[in-house]
């Protein structure tokens, strides 16, 4: 396949994606992942009954290939046992789609990983372990934070140009953090604003933020920061779903 050529199946699933949307209910678990290459996001919702995936939906901020692979993987996974579904690889999906351009293979990771994450979350839910009250964690308690001071974590922002083209996450600490998030959009297309709140208090900054390219993660908090030498990824706790997922970022702003 040429590097830019899409198969008829990819085009069909892109133009008519199957199983788009969300699912609700106590028996639904969510899987979320971010693409380390492009920073796009994928969400999978699975409803498991008697060990089988009875229903499945997806939502993505990804490209056409991400949409096509997610659509195909929902078709592959529906009706399978969770043990069978967790084994579906990005190569299986690419094969079912009659191939993907090599430069787009990273997009197929997104769907396969989001499905695995959803199944993993389902399996976690089945364990009787008592739930931690992670909602009360303070920024100082973020795991791994001390390891990345001056290596991707910022408590002050003086030079916004430092964040040029960096995937930057900023923790909600009121109006100042919103202002910085908005200013950052002039320097990087990937700004993620993380707030524990279900809604942001009304105000002009909030309206600006909502209308901007900043992605707002409501009811969320950072549990852990990881990377080799500098910040590479964070584990996010979705307080609403009580689930965890990973996002790839280069910088995290936690104002003091």
Identity of the residue, 88 or 153, whose beta carbon is nearer to ligand FES in the bound complex: 88
Size of the site for ligand FES (CB under 6 A): 9
73 binds ligand FES (CB under 6 A): no
Count of residues in the chain: 256
Most distant CA pair in the chain: distance in Å?
Answer: 55
- Smallest distance, Å, CB 106 to ligand FES? 7
SS3 69: helix
Stretch that binds ligand FES, among 57-65, 89-97, 136-144, 180-188 (CB under 6 A): 57-65
- 35 or 177: CB nearest ligand FES: 35
Query: Contact between 92 and ligand FES (CB under 6 A)?
Result: no
Among candidate residues 20, 23, 38, 239, the one labeled active-site is 38
Binding mask 101-130 for ligand FES (x = CB under 6 A): ------x--x--------------------
Is residue 35 near ligand FES by the rule CB under 6 A? yes
How far apart, in whole angstroms, are the C-alpha atoms of residue 19 and residue 84?
Answer: 19
Applying CB under 6 A, among 29, 65, 71, 74 the residue interacting with ligand FES is 65
Asked if 226 and 147 count as a contact pair (C-beta separation under 8 A), the reply is no
Tokens, residue 239: 């307080």
Query: Are 239 and 221 in contact, with CB atoms under 8 Å apart?
Result: yes
Q: In terms of C-beta density within 10 A (0-12 exposed, 13-18 middle, 19 or more buried), how is residue 129 classed?
A: exposed
Residue 194 token pair: 């993380």
Q: Say how many C-beta atoms besides its own lie within 10 A of residue 100's C-beta.
A: 24
Closer CB to ligand FES, 33 or 56, in the complex? 33
Phi/psi at 51 (nearest 5 deg)?
Answer: 80, 5
Q: Which is nearer to ligand FES, 31 or 62 (CB)?
A: 62
> Which residues contact ligand FES (rule: CB under 6 A)?
35, 38, 40, 62-63, 65-66, 107, 110
Catalytic center residues? 38, 107
């Amino acid at each position: 396949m040429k590097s830019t050529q899409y198969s008829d199946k990819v085009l069909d699933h892109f133009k008519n994606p199957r199983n788009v949307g969300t699912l609700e209910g106590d028996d639904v678990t969510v899987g979320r992942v971010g693409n380390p290459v492009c920073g796009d996001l994928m969400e999978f919702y699975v409803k498991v009954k008697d060990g089988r995936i009875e229903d499945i939906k997806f939502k993505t901020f990804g490209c056409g290939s991400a949409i096509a692979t997610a659509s195909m993987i929902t078709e592959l996974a529906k009706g399978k046992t969770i043990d069978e579904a967790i084994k579906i690889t990005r190569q299986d999906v690419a094969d079912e789609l009659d191939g993907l351009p090599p430069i787009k293979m990273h997009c197929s990771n997104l769907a396969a990983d989001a499905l695995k994450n959803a199944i993993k979350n389902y399996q976690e839910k089945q364990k009787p372990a008592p739930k931690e009250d992670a909602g009360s964690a303070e920024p100082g308690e973020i795991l791994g934070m001390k390891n990345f001071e001056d290596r991707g974590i910022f408590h002050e922002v003086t030079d916004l140009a430092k964040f040029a083209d960096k995937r930057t996450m900023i923790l909600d600490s009121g109006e100042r953090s919103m202002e910085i998030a908005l200013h950052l959009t002039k320097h990087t297309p990937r700004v993620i604003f993380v707030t524990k709140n279900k809604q942001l208090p009304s105000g002009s900054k909030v309206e600006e933020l909502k209308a901007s390219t900043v992605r707002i993660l409501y009811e969320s908090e950072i549990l852990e920061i990881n990377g080799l030498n500098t910040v590479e990824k964070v584990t996010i706790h979705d307080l609403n779903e009580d689930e965890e997922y990973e996002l790839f970022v280069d910088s995290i702003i936690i104002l003091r």
